[in-house]
Amino acid sequence: MNIQAPAIRTVEDFLRWNEGREGKREFVNGRIVEMVTGGTERHAELMLLLAMAMRSRLAADDYVVTASDYAVKTPWGVRYPDVLVKPRTDGTSASLATTDSLLLAEILSPSSLATDFSEKAEEYTALDSLKHYLVLSEEEPRVWLWSRGEDGAFGKPEMIAGREESVELTGLGVTLALASLYRDIA
């Protein structure tokens, strides 16, 4: 559903307008788009486990790890990824959005599947700072990983499946075991 708000024309207008409002929405191609809220228990748990895994593997003095309430500015507007990792910089703790994400992750749900693999993949991989875009299935130990190559470009996503597998986030020097992320998912 789109909200009609003619006074909101820019990303900054949207961020100021959206701050403190109930519900969730994104700003895409100049339009305010309502987001689905009230995800499944698996979705919430997987998001938390991924954020905690990233937080435990990255130096807190060097990186910020957030889950779903902090925005990323994209070439198309503003998105709220499920998990975001960015460098820690002085003086930005009160910011409403970042332009320097290193990792963005989305947990698949039936309502987000098409967007996560198309629009968001295109938007996120267009960010100069981004090293990895990760999409996680909430149903089984299966992830899709887009990584920036040595040539600076993103190739096709790599699908990694099975509890015994790991995800190599080489741009961050982090390895994530799927068995750990999916430990409580049958």
Give the pLDDT band (50/70/90) at residue 145: very high
Report yes or no on 103 lying in a domain: yes
Quick check: 3 and 28 in contact, CB under 8 A?
A: no
At 185 the pLDDT is 72
Mean pLDDT over the full length of the chain: 88
Percent of the chain with pLDDT over 90: 60
Report yes or no on 175 lying in a domain: yes
Report yes or no on 134 lying in a domain: yes
Q: What are 50-103's pLDDT values in tens digits?
A: 999 999 999 989 999 998 889 999 999 999 899 999 999 876 567 889 999 999
Distance separating alpha carbons of residues 59 and 41, to the nearest angstrom = 28
Q: How many folded domains does the chain comprise? A: 1
The pTM (predicted TM-score) of the whole model is 0.87
The residue segments making up the domain with residue 125 are 39-181
Q: What are 74-86's pLDDT values in tens digits?
A: 999 999 899 999 9
Closest C-alpha to 120, from 141, 110, 131, 105: 105
At 7 the pLDDT is 79
Here the CATH number for the domain that contains residue 102 is 3.90.1570.10
